[in-house]
């Protein structure tokens, strides 16, 4: 069932069932072999993100000391990004309501101690398109606020199989990942390991995005 957490911010709890998660994880393992995860340097400081990243699709989101951008090649290997897994494309078709396919699928890999600070996603020209997030592996505490940094925030847990759609008035809200919930005996949250992933008890999040305006 779909829950609207805020205008334009829609959570589909358990959208991917177990078999779908395993199929997606297997396809992602092949993506990671073709496009190894790396920790991008942050603009200005060059300090690496705690989250490891890679991409699939025609364009990938990258960061370096000069800034953020989308580009067609892996910054470390120079290879083109692998194709977006079919199951992720199916989820986009079912959930985005957008009349063109996604161009980018950013793959974020969180070890137990990785975090993502509160930020906005605004490196895409197609801000009319939603961003679709799919979660695998360990659960996480997701925080979201408003259009202005300093607006009040709320937190929810994201679990394996959850789909989150950020569109319309939610497209530019501030959001981040406060913490990864490790497996039991941590009573705060459950998780399931992602087979074949670099961090066996980590979390993986895919964000599907339209970058350029379709013509």
Applying CB under 5 A, the residues found at the interface with Fe ion are 121
At its nearest, how many Å lie between ligand MD3 and the CB of residue 116?
5
- The secondary structure element, H or E, covering residue 207 is strand 203-209
At its nearest, how many Å lie between ligand MD3 and the CB of residue 97?
15
- The secondary structure element, H or E, covering residue 89 is helix 86-95
Give 95 or 132: the residue with its C-beta nearer to Fe ion.
132
Q: Report the interface residues with ligand MD3, using CB under 6 A.
A: 106, 108, 116, 121, 131, 133, 164, 166, 170-171, 173, 175, 177, 205, 207
| The entry of ligand MD3, Fe ion, none that residue 116 binds, CB within 5 to 8 Å by partner kind | ligand MD3
Residue 48, strand partner residues? 41
For residues 105 and 103, what is the distance between their CA atoms, to the nearest angstrom? 7
Give 199 or 205: the residue with its C-beta nearer to ligand MD3.
205
Tokens 């949250």 identify what position?
189
Give 47 or 122: the residue with its C-beta nearer to Fe ion.
122
> Structure tokens of 177?
């990942």
> What are the start-end ranges of the E strands in 36-182?
52-57, 60-64, 67-71, 104-110, 116-119, 131-137, 139-144, 154-158, 163-166, 175-181
Residue 144, strand partner residues? 154, 175
| The entry of ligand MD3, Fe ion, none that residue 199 binds, CB within 5 to 8 Å by partner kind | none
Give 92 or 192: the residue with its C-beta nearer to Fe ion.
92
> Structure tokens of 116?
């993502």
| The entry of ligand MD3, Fe ion, none that residue 131 binds, CB within 5 to 8 Å by partner kind | ligand MD3
CA atoms 118, 158, 173, 65: torsion sign = positive
At its nearest, how many Å lie between ligand MD3 and the CB of residue 176?
7
> Cis omega (within 30 of 0) on the bond before 185?
yes
At its nearest, how many Å lie between ligand MD3 and the CB of residue 121?
4
| The entry of ligand MD3, Fe ion, none that residue 205 binds, CB within 5 to 8 Å by partner kind | ligand MD3
At its nearest, how many Å lie between Fe ion and the CB of residue 119?
6
């Amino acid at each position: 069932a779909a829950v609207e957490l805020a205008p334009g911010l829609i959570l589909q709890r358990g959208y991917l069932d177990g078999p779908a998660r395993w199929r997606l994880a297997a396809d992602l393992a092949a993506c990671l072999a073709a496009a190894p995860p790396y920790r991008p340097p942050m603009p200005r400081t060059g300090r690496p993100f705690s989250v490891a990243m890679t991409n699939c699709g025609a364009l990938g989101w990258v960061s370096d000391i000069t800034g953020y951008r989308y580009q067609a090649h892996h910054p470390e290997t120079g290879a083109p990004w692998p194709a977006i897994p079919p199951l992720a494309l199916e989820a986009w078709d079912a959930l985005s309501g957008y009349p063109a396919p996604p161009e980018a699928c950013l793959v974020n890999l969180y070890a137990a101690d990785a975090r993502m600070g509160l930020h906005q996603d605004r490196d895409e020209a197609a801000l009319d398109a939603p961003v679709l997030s799919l979660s695998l592996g360990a659960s996480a505490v997701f925080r979201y606020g408003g259009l202005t940094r300093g607006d009040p925030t709320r937190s929810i847990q994201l679990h394996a199989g959850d789909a989150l759609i950020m569109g319309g008035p939610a497209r530019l809200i501030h959001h981040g990942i406060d913490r990864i919930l490790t497996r039991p005996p941590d009573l705060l949250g459950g998780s399931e390991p992602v087979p074949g992933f670099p961090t066996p008890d980590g979390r993986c999040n895919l964000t599907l995005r339209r970058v350029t305006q379709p013509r």
